[in-house]
A and B are shown apart, each in its own frame.
Chain A
Amino acid sequence: DAGVTQSPTHLIKTRGQHVTLRCSPISGHKSVSWYQQVLGQGPQFIFQYYEKEERGRGNFPDRFSARQFPNYSSELNVNALLLGDSALYLCASSLDQGGVTEAFFGQGTRLTVV
């Protein structure tokens, strides 16, 4: 079975531009979460979606938005990119919203803002 897939794997953008990152969860998983991992730090929670509804939002500006589609795939959008948005963006999927259910991570999208 395919794991969590993210695209693209690497991306270079210019300050002020917009970016869309994509995530396909494991088949049957209804929850998708997004995390930002700045170099040398642990991942920081951005969003969680479950059954196409936002169920949680981390401490990120409104420039960050996301959505989940009927097939449970998800997009993370970032507007007006800043140099500080350069990071590894991780997507995690799970069967349900949380509890002890394991979150499976993708390999991430490495975003570089220049």
Chain B
Amino acid sequence: AQTVTQSQPEMSVQEAETVTLSCTYDTSESDYYLFWYKQPPSRQMILVIRQEAYKQQNATENRFSVNFQKAAKSFSLKISDSQLGDAAMYFCAYRSYSGGSNYKLTFGKGTLLTVNP
């Protein structure tokens, strides 16, 4: 079974600064997908960024980028130019490439990000 570990329960950053959230995972599969989701107080999970394991290039979405290290099974999220609206719980998630019940998302426990003005 796959597991996802987020070792930072809480992080804080000053507005306009950069912060990196860590995520490691354990799997025996070679093909899979990794995601970062944001959950603000409104509770709705919002996809921030995704990475296909077969792609060596790190994904980037505006101020959000990832550092995907497949051999180390590491998938960190970097938020540049942090904004007050970035404050939320961030979840790292894993999904298998194959079908059946492996289409489920496996989430970490989350990292609560605080942005200080």
Which chain A positions have C-beta within 8 A of B101? 48, 55-58
A100 touching B50 by the CB < 8 A rule? yes
Q: Which of B13-21, B62-70, B80-88, B105-113 contacts A (4 or more CB under 8 A)?
A: B105-113
Which chain A positions have C-beta within 8 A of B47? 102-104
**B28-51 interface bits toward A, Cβ cutoff 8 Å, 1 = contact, 0 = none:** 000001000100001111110010
B43 touching A42 by the CB < 8 A rule? no
Determine the interface band of chain B, counting residues with CB < 8 A from chain A.
20 to 34
A45–B103 CA distance with the chains assembled, in angstroms:
10
Determine the interface band of chain A, counting residues with CB < 8 A from chain B.
20 to 34
A102–B35 CA distance with the chains assembled, in angstroms:
10
B33 touching A106 by the CB < 8 A rule? no
- A25 sits at the interface (CB 8 A): no
Which chain A positions have C-beta within 8 A of B95? 98
Chain A nearest CB: distance from B39 CB in Å?
Answer: 9
Q: Point out the residue from B42, B50, B93, B109 that lies within 8 Å of A107, measured CB to CB.
A: B42
A106 touching B99 by the CB < 8 A rule? no
Return the chain A residue nearest B108 by Cβ. Answer: A42
B43 touching A108 by the CB < 8 A rule? yes
A90 touching B108 by the CB < 8 A rule? no
- A72 sits at the interface (CB 8 A): no
A56–B98 CA distance with the chains assembled, in angstroms:
12
Chain B nearest CB: distance from A31 CB in Å?
Answer: 8
Which chain B positions have C-beta within 8 A of A103? 47, 105
Q: Point out the residue from A40, A55, A99, A107 that lies within 8 Å of B43, measured CB to CB.
A: A107
A interface, CB within 8 angstroms of B = 31, 33, 35, 40-45, 48, 55-58, 88, 90, 92, 97-100, 102-108, 110
In the complex, besides A55-B99, A56-B103, A104-B47, 18 extra interface pairs with C-beta distance below 8 angstroms are A33-B103, A33-B104, A42-B93, A42-B107, A42-B108, A45-B104, A45-B105, A48-B101, A56-B102, A90-B45, A97-B99, A98-B102, A100-B50, A102-B50, A103-B47, A105-B45, A108-B43, A108-B44
